[in-house]
Amino acid sequence: MIPNQWYVILASDEVKKNRVIGVRRMGENLVAWRDSSGVVTVAKDRCPHRGIALSKGKMLHDHLQCPFHGLEFDSSGRCVYIPANGKAAAVPDHFRAAGYPVAEQNGFIYLWYTVDPENSRSRSLSNLPPVPWFDNLGGDFPSGGMTDHWKAHYSRGIENQLDVVHVPFIHRTTIGRGIGPVVNGPYVEVSGNSISFWPSNEQDKGQQPIPVSKMTKPERVSTYLTFIFPNLWQNHIMDSLRIVVAFVPVDDNNTIFYLRMYQKMVPWPVLKEIFFFFLKQFNRIVLHQDRRVVETHQPQATRLKMDENLIPGDYPVILYRRMRENLKASNADNADIAVNAGKALNEGDAGISAPPL
């Protein structure tokens, strides 16, 4: 995990008003609830009194009530009532559900991930970076969605969507039909914490692939892919059709793909729903073509330097790894993370010849 980042962890419609749900994210058991005003709270699924799961509790007067001894927690995670002590008793400050800063935008719930959540939680959201999203994707796009569970580390799911080499092989019956195996470039742009690239595969006619350093940005090709750290990806198929995926970490071996389809091609309500239905079925087929091989990755979590022999066509993947290690180092909450990331960067990229950042 990259510390000090906004991670998408849930879809907004999964947390209903006056409802409590338990989820596993970032390798932790978390509890989420929404009060009657719509405020969402996410905390560690552990009551500070006796350590039981708060997700087994219920909402009572806009408070999360612990199912064991009735302690009540407000939307800040602070315990406001201990029944056994009586209403007149003050509640000690340390009776607090350990929570994370949360933001809700774009139909998603974002969590500010840090190994020191309580110190971050006390900070105003205005003092945290804005949540990541795509500048070219506004609220005027109708959308439909689906989820898919992969038994893989979230970083491997991300790398799969940055991999232009596998498309004509894994997806030869779907999106890779007719796409050649020879990988030119691709052309890549980096802006802040985002990577955009324009695939350029062609049939093998004995030619040498064009290296990344000699690629130029296509003038008339509308299809490109953008990844925004730490876990958002968009396939800009055309101006009127986009696919967005949030790679939501469950733990080191499990990821939930939140896939959204955005389109302006079919405006009519009934036909729009039919369009989304068939698009969802197609996307599920494509995802499962990937899933059956990505789940076999060893090791599961990606690293900058591993026992691999990389090729120039892997450039978007190695760029992702470089940027990921840089972010882990620069945003580290402890010295060990920074030292290990620094070592990985200094070791270089074995087996690949590609231009530096």
H, E, C per residue of 66-99 = CCCCCCEECCCCEEEECHHHCCCCCCCCCCECCE
Confidence of residue 183 (pLDDT cuts 50, 70, 90): very high
Single pTM value for the model:
0.90
Task: Return d(Cα 311, Cα 318) in angstroms, integer.
Answer: 10
Confidence of residue 200 (pLDDT cuts 50, 70, 90): very high
Under a CB-based contact definition with an 8 Å cutoff, are residues 299 and 253 in contact?
no
Q: What integer pLDDT is reported at residue 24 of this predicted model?
A: 98
Phi, then psi, of 141 in degrees rounded to 5: -95, 120
Q: What integer pLDDT is reported at residue 221 of this predicted model?
A: 77
Under a CB-based contact definition with an 8 Å cutoff, are residues 134 and 246 in contact?
no
Tokens standing for residue 25: 């994210």
Distances in Å between the Cα of 181 and the Cα atoms of 28, 43, 80, 166, 203 are 41, 47, 62, 8, 6
Residue type, 120: S
The average pLDDT across 298-302 equals 92
**In what side-by-side order are the strands of the sheet with 102-105?**
5-11, 108-113, 102-105
Tokens standing for residue 227: 């990844």
Q: For the chain, what is the largest distance between any 2 Cα atoms, rounded to a whole number of angstroms?
A: 83
Under a CB-based contact definition with an 8 Å cutoff, are residues 12 and 104 in contact?
yes
Query: pLDDT of 28-42, one tens digit each?
Result: 999 999 999 999 999
Statement: residue 86 has pLDDT above 80? yes
The average pLDDT across 262-291 equals 93
CA-wise closest residue to 65 among 85, 51, 80: 80
Phi, then psi, of 64 in degrees rounded to 5: -85, 120
Query: pLDDT of 317-354, one tens digit each?
Result: 999 999 999 999 987 654 444 344 444 444 444 444 44
Percent share of the chain, pLDDT over 90: 79
Residue type, 356: P
Percent share of the chain, pLDDT over 70: 90
Under a CB-based contact definition with an 8 Å cutoff, are residues 234 and 137 in contact?
yes
Statement: residue 19 has pLDDT above 60? yes
Domain ranges (residues) in the chain: 5-127, 134-357
Mean of pLDDT over the chain: 90
* SS3 state at 176: coil
CA-wise closest residue to 45 among 34, 56, 35: 56
Task: Return d(Cα 341, Cα 339) in angstroms, integer.
Answer: 6
Query: Could you say which of 3.30.540.10, 3.90.870.20, 3.90.380.10, 3.20.20.10 is the CATH number of the domain covering 134-357?
Result: 3.90.380.10
Side-chain half-sphere exposure of 57, counting CA atoms within 13 A:
27
The average pLDDT across 293-307 equals 93
Q: What integer pLDDT is reported at residue 139 of this predicted model?
A: 74
Distances in Å between the Cα of 312 and the Cα atoms of 299, 316, 355 are 21, 9, 10
Residue with tokens 């950042």: 357
Task: Return d(Cα 279, Cα 142) in angstroms, integer.
Answer: 13
Helix ranges, the chain (H):
117-121, 154-161, 167-170, 269-294, 315-330, 335-347
Q: What integer pLDDT is reported at residue 331 of this predicted model?
A: 78
Under a CB-based contact definition with an 8 Å cutoff, are residues 249 and 155 in contact?
no
Query: pLDDT of 207-264, one tens digit each?
Result: 999 999 999 998 877 899 999 999 999 999 999 999 999 999 999 999 999 999 999 9
Query: pLDDT of 47-83, one tens digit each?
Result: 999 999 999 999 999 999 999 999 999 999 999 999 9
Task: Return d(Cα 33, Cα 14) in angstroms, integer.
Answer: 10
End-to-end CA distance of the chain: 22
Q: CATH for 5-127? A: 2.102.10.10
